[in-house]
Chain A
Amino acid sequence: MNDVALFAIKFVGLGFAVAMFAMNLAVILTWVDRRQGAMIQDRVGPNRAVAWIPTPIAQGLAFGPAALLAVGVLAYCYKNEVTGPALEQRGMLFSQLAVLLFWLTGCVIASKVKARGARNSFDLWIQTLGEPRYIFFGGLAVHVALFFFSLMLRGGPSGATFTKITSGAGPALFALAALFGAGYAAFVIRKEKRVGLRLAGLLHPAADGLKTLFKEDFVPPNADKFLFNLAPFISFFPALVVLACVPFADTLCFATNAEGKIQLSQLASMVPRVGVCSEGALKIQAIDLNIGLLYFLAVGGTGIVGAALAGWASDNKYSLLGGLRAAGQMVSYEVTMGLTLIGMIMVYGTLQVDKMILWQQENTWGVFAQPLAFVLFFAAAVAESKRIPFDIPEGESEIVAGYFTEYAGMKFAMFFFAEYIAVVTASALMAAVFFGGWSLPFVFRDGIHLAVGNTPIFDAAMPHGGVVALGALAFILKTIVLCWLQLTIRWTLPRFRYDQLMRLGWRKLLPASLVNILLTGFVVMAIRTGGPTADHAMSVVANLCNLLLALGGLGLVVWFAIFMSTPRKIKQNLSTTSAQYAADAGGTRSLRMGA
């Protein structure tokens, strides 16, 4: 049983997870690209798709999982008795989760009530708490207070009492919060005949995908039918599989049995800070290749063939031009891409992405070590995915739709998808190589160690499972932020001309990447010949970078939360009677203006 599960996880599950990660994120990106790009201009993107669900089923969907979760958590916590640090950690985790769930539910309900008005006594009560953001601030305060209480009381006799309270009440409160939120939702919709499931418009890309499956599969009469049909697959496949060399989270350590096989049910509770467990290690990576980045470059490069084939096989002048442009552009920028990665390989001394991330965990993020390389790689990666401002292969104002002019239905959708998957894979690779992958500043395999040079500032142990889960979350978040940055570039910049594109690639980015290699070589040599003094100085610099990162990141998150929760002061200049009249009537676009 264990062997079968292990095999499933190692060879099927991880590959499947990687493919699903890329494809789902790509679907979400197609939606985000249209929807948010529209919202910048005050328009609405695609959002009409809806699945109508009868109210009892919707109530079940809301309440059932929450009830299962609550019962599961309670059963797990009160059946598996633990003691010592594990109990403390469990109490802390569930109390913090309960607080999180409470303020999140409170915020959602309060903003709903603010939008639609109070409908029951609970709504009236929550209105008395004031703006939804006050609930959020209160929740944050409770989070911080819990954290500092646990730190202050740790070790003493009152610490034991505190642990008893958190471990006893935490799971119960968590279950209560989950049940309450779901129960409220089920209660509010009780009078509706049916409930529309829209997932914030996310059903729309699903509906679009379904639609493309049923569209006419058109092949131009004089096209090369075999190559025409082959091209979308050739362009789709490499974009999907390059993600296999990127690890999603830290290596998991399990206990092993007498034969040296991994026991999946026994996850190590704590692991040492350095080194990977000698046996029982499970890498969260589809394939563990020692050539790492070379695999990315090699497989990623074959995507050119798909675009070029599509352009040639379509029997269309525009397609041919688009295919030529795509081939020329991708070959040019692949050079820069490879050469910038050479600088990173010199710094890290390895080709394997997981070892690169370990280096970044011990030192600092790659973007601090190689800032120029990041800018160059980012530009080259955007060019590789053939997106604005480098989208001349499909420049619709010049050559209709470029190399996929003749494609329709699902084959068109595959090109479209490949583009977004390329965005996801490039972002994931950049997150791994330049932004520390699953590592967070000062978070190590055994917990948080905040130190500058040799002076420790703060230490806290964390369970192995928690560290790995946090790392996976961090990796996904970093990937999403980088994807979003690429989309923002698309919403901002105009398209290059073909000669500008080539000049940028060959005369600016390529020499810059060569200079980068030269400088990196000098610096690496200098540090190596400098001996322990240089090593120590560099580690202090790395720690300071991490400190900057941690403080800056926290500050940014807090600032962003405050910015997003504080209403904008709108200065209304009602200089005309019509403006005053419309404002009195609740605005010209409001439903409230009646006869």
Chain B
Amino acid sequence: MTLDAKTLGPRKVSGVTVTRPGRGAGVQTYIPEIAKGLAITMKHFFQNTKEMALGQRNDPVLESIEDGINTLSYPEQRRPYPTRFRGLHRLTHRDDGSPRCVACLCCSTACPAQCIHIEAGEYPEGDPKRGYERFPTRFVIDELRCIFCGFCVEACPCDAIRMDTGMHAAPYDSRDQFIFEKDLMMSFPGRDGSHVTANPRHEPGESGHPGVDRSHGH
């Protein structure tokens, strides 16, 4: 293709014409604009002064001249976390202290970071739960891989894994300290201090058990 005046020259562009903002006498003389700017500065100044004088905001002056610096003495003092804050995982307990987890692998399947590793175990022969549900022989979460999305909590059918500890991971020395085992996660209480959940669990055979079990067969 040859480069000539036709290809290089100005082409007609379609569109809406936007008029330039006016440069009227007010803008040209600069004085009304100065007045506007001064008004904004004064507004900020007087409002800030007023709010400080009336105690509507922390006075940056008084705050900084108080003894010490206004920081939190972590870990004695902590920043308040919101109620739905997703902290470290905990494994909830049954009434007998065993984990509620039935090793269904829903959480590890849902986990986008693939940080949950579960080894399922069968209950011994003769146990009423054998063949009905399993239990985790190992339940491991790599808290370094975890992205705290909460999908595992959503996925769990038994309310066995929760993230309501209100804790965040402390800075440990080495990476293997972030590999949380089942016992550790079972030792974390929730924010209310309990190891169980408010959702009731009914063991097979109990009257409130809603689902199927051996006695109420298929």
Q: Mark A434-445, 1 if CB is under 8 A from B, else 0.
A: 000000000000
Given the known A-B contacts A36-B45, A40-B44, are A589 and B58 also in contact in the complex, defined by CB atoms under 8 Å? yes
Residues of B within 8 A of A584 (CB): 80
Q: How large is the interface on B (under 10, 10 to 19, 20 to 34, 35 or more residues)?
A: 35 or more
Residues of A within 8 A of B77 (CB): 593-595
Residues of A within 8 A of B65 (CB): 47-48, 50, 196, 198
A39 near B45 with CB under 8 A, answer yes
B31 near A375 with CB under 8 A, answer yes
The interface-forming segment of B16-24, B33-41, B135-143, B180-188 is B33-41
Residues of A within 8 A of B58 (CB): 587, 589-590
Q: Mark B37-64, 1 if CB is under 8 A from A, else 0.
A: 1101110111111111111101011011
Q: List 15 A-B contacts (CB under 8 A).
A: A39-B45, A44-B61, A115-B55, A196-B65, A200-B61, A375-B31, A485-B38, A492-B40, A493-B34, A564-B53, A565-B54, A570-B56, A585-B80, A590-B58, A593-B80
Name the CB-closest residue of A to B41. Answer: A492
B26 CB to nearest A CB, Å: 15
Given the known A-B contacts A492-B38, A580-B82, are A591 and B70 also in contact in the complex, defined by CB atoms under 8 Å? yes
Docked CA distance A492–B63 (Å): 27
Docked CA distance A162–B50 (Å): 39
B166 CB to nearest A CB, Å: 11
Docked CA distance A114–B54 (Å): 9
Docked CA distance A486–B49 (Å): 19
A360 CB to nearest B CB, Å: 24
B172 sits at the interface (CB 8 A): no
Given the known A-B contacts A39-B60, A43-B60, A47-B61, are A491 and B41 also in contact in the complex, defined by CB atoms under 8 Å? yes
Q: Which of A40, A568, A580, A590 contacts B56 (CB 8 A)?
A: A568
- Beyond A48-B64, A489-B38, A564-B50, 9 extra complex contacts between A and B, CB < 8 Å: A36-B45, A43-B60, A44-B60, A44-B64, A50-B65, A200-B61, A488-B41, A568-B56, A581-B82
A563 sits at the interface (CB 8 A): yes
Residues of B within 8 A of A595 (CB): 76-78
- Which residues from 466 to 522 on chain A have a C-beta closer than 8 Å to any C-beta of chain B? 485, 488-489, 491-493
Docked CA distance A587–B46 (Å): 23
Q: Which of B48, B64, B84 contacts A47 (CB 8 A)?
A: B64
B28 CB to nearest A CB, Å: 10
Q: How large is the interface on A (under 10, 10 to 19, 20 to 34, 35 or more residues)?
A: 35 or more
B45 near A40 with CB under 8 A, answer yes
Docked CA distance A196–B63 (Å): 15
A219 CB to nearest B CB, Å: 37
A456 sits at the interface (CB 8 A): no
Q: Mark A572-595, 1 if CB is under 8 A from B, else 0.
A: 000011101110110111110111
- Which residues from 132 to 167 on chain A have a C-beta closer than 8 Å to any C-beta of chain B? none
B70 near A589 with CB under 8 A, answer yes
Docked CA distance A245–B24 (Å): 42
Q: Mark A98-130, 1 if CB is under 8 A from B, else 0.
A: 000000000000010011000000000000000
A52 CB to nearest B CB, Å: 12
Residues of A within 8 A of B42 (CB): 488
B55 near A201 with CB under 8 A, answer no
B31 CB to nearest A CB, Å: 7
Residues of B within 8 A of A259 (CB): none
B27 CB to nearest A CB, Å: 14
Name the CB-closest residue of B to A588. Answer: B79
A81 sits at the interface (CB 8 A): no
Residues of A within 8 A of B14 (CB): none
Residues of B within 8 A of A221 (CB): none
